[in-house]
A and B are shown apart, each in its own frame.
Chain A
Amino acid sequence: MAKTNDKLIVGGKRLDGRGFDELRPITMRIRAVEKADGSAQVSFGDTEAIVSVYGPRKLYPRFLQESERGILRYRYSMAPFSCTDRIPPGNSRRGIEISKASRLAFEPVAFLDDFPTTVVDVFTEILQADGSTRVTGINAASMAMAVAGVPMRDLVAACSVGKIDGQLVADLNGIEDNNSEADVAVAMMPTKDRVTLLQMDGVLTKDELFTLLQMARENCRKIYELQKAAIKDSFKQQPDVTAVAEAAEEEAAKESQG
C-alpha cells in the first residue's frame, strides 16, 4: 500500500469516520473450514483472515518430537491477491518473522504438556489485507484453537494501536498503517491480563507507548467479548420446530380429554 502525504485525521475524525479509540466493524465466524479440527474466519473492516487448526496430531519427522510436551507450529501467510500489489506465493522474510511471533503469542497459552510428542498446526491465511493483518490472524487462530478442542488457559485477543498525525489511535487500517508515525501490535490473554505478543515500529515517547499499551489492553478485552459471543452463539440450540408443534398438539389433546 502506498504512502501518502495527505492528512489521516480530518476534522477530528479518521478518514473512515471512526473515533480515535474505535475498532472497525468486526465479523467473526467459526467452522469456516469443514475439514479442519477447528477453524475460524475473522474480519476487521476490510482485513480478512481465515485460520485452520489441525491437532494435536502425530508429528513427523520424529526428531522434531518433544517427549515431554507437544509443539506448536504457526504459519502466517498472505494470499497473492490479498494486497493491491500481488504477493508472490511462498515464504517471505516478513511472513517467517510474523509466524514466529504469532506462535510465541500462543506458547504460554496452550497446555502443550498434555500432549507429548504431538503437534498442533495453525495455518493462518490473510485473504484480504487492509492493515493489522497479524492481529486479525491471531484473533481467528485463538477461536479456531478453542473450537478444535486444544486446551488453553484463555483465549488470545489481539489488536493494533498506534500514532497517526500525532494522534494515538486503535485498530489501524491499511492507509493508517502505512503512514503511521508508530504502530504497535499487541496480543493478550484477556482474562489473565497478560501480554503474549508485542511488536512496535515507529517513533514514540515512553509515555505515548504506555498510553497505547493501556488502549490495547482495553480493546483486547472488547475483542475477547466478541470472540466469546461468536463461539457461544454458534452452539445456540436450533429449536426443533416439528417437535414443538407435535408437543403442543399432544398437550392440547390431553387437555381436551380433560
Chain B
Amino acid sequence: MDRFERGPREEYDYGRSEPQPSDGGEAAELHEHAHRTIVIPGEYIDDKKGRKLGNDVYEEGERVFAKVLGIPVISENEIKIIPMSGVYIPGISDNVIGVITEVGISGWTVDINSPYIAFLPVADGVDEFVDTNRTDISRFFDVGDALFCKISKVTKNKTTRVSMRAMGARKLLGGVLMRVKPVKIPRIIGKGGSMINMIKQRTGCVIYVGKNGVIWLRGDNKAKAIEAILTIERESHTTGLTDKIARMLGDLPGVVQPTAAAAAETKPAESEVESGVEVEEEKIERPKPAWEPANF
C-alpha cells in the first residue's frame, strides 16, 4: 500500500514520486528500481551495459540519454523513461477507446485520440459474414459510437488498424467519455489495477480505461470518479496519492459495495439506469480460439 514517506525532506525534492506502474505486470519491478528525479531531454541517464532501451531514450555510443521529460527507470535489464507528457502513439496490442468518425464501405475510421487515425475493417469488427456490396455497415457501428478495442496492427509510418476481436472488446453504450494525458493512464490504473479498482468500487461506476488516454464511465457517482481521475492526472508525480484519492471518495451514498452474490447478477443495478432508458449491453460474441491474443 502507498505510504506517505516521512523523514527528512529536501528543499528541492524533484519529483520524488510513486513508481509508475503500467498495466500492472511490471509494477513490482518498477517499485524497486525507480529513480526518483525527473530528467529533461538530453540528460544523461546511465551507460547502456547491454540493456534493452525504451522508446523515450536514445543512445550515443555507450551513453544513454533521455528524449523526453520524465522519470527514468533503470533496472538490470532495461533503461526507459516514464514520460510526464506526450501524445498517444499507437502500439500493437494496446487496449484503446476509439470513436467512429467515418463509416466506409469495408470498415470504419476510428479516432483514437492520437495524431494517427485507426481503421477498423469489417471482418475485425463484426462476427457475422457481411457482404460489403449490399450492406450499409452503419447498422453495426455508426459515427459517434465509442468502442473499446485493441490495436491490431501498426506499420512503420504508423498506419493503424484496430480490432474488436479481443477479450472484452465492446461497443460502449450510454455513459460519458473523458480524455486524460495518455502518460497518466498507468497511474490511473495503479499497481495491478489497485487505483482504478478502488475508484470503481467506491463509486460503483463501470469504468473502461484506454491506453490512449480515453476513459469511459457509467454510473450515478461518475462525477466523483471523474474528479478522482482528474486529480490523479494533475498530481501523478506526487506520493501519498492513493490515500488522498481514497479520502476523496470516502463512502458515497447509494453505493452498494459489491458482494460476490451481487456480482453474479447480470442485471444492471437500478442506479445504473439512465434517464429511464434500459441499458442493454450489446456484446460481440466472443470468437472461437482462431484469434488468440498472440496472433495480433
Contacts and interface: CB of A to CB of B under 8 A. Distances in A.
A23 interface: no
Quick one: which of A152, A228, A231, A237 has the most chain B CB within 10 A?
Answer: A237
B84 interface: yes
Interface in A34-62: 37-38, 55-58
Contact of A151 (B41, B44, B158): B41
B interface: dominant SS: loop
A86 B67 CA distance: 40
B244 A236 contact: no
Interface in A1-58: 37-38, 55-58
Contacts of B238: 237-238, 240
B58 interface: yes
Contacts of A118: 115-116
**Size bracket of the A interface:** 35 or more
Interface stretch (A109-117, A204-212, A215-223): A109-117
B210 interface: no
B69 interface: yes
B115 A151 contact: no
B296 interface: no
Contacts of B13: 236-237
A235 interface: yes
Contacts of B86: 148-151
Contacts of B87: 37, 55-57, 149
Most chain A Cβ neighbours within 10 Å, of B9, B55, B58, B67: B67
B35 interface: no
A247 B65 CA distance: 38
B206 to A, nearest CB: 30
11 contacts: A37-B87, A55-B115, A67-B157, A115-B89, A150-B68, A151-B67, A152-B68, A155-B40, A155-B41, A236-B12, A240-B244
Given A146-B69, A153-B42, A189-B42, 18 more contacts: A37-B87, A38-B85, A56-B115, A57-B87, A111-B58, A147-B85, A148-B85, A149-B85, A149-B87, A151-B68, A153-B65, A154-B41, A191-B44, A231-B38, A237-B15, A238-B238, A243-B244, A244-B6
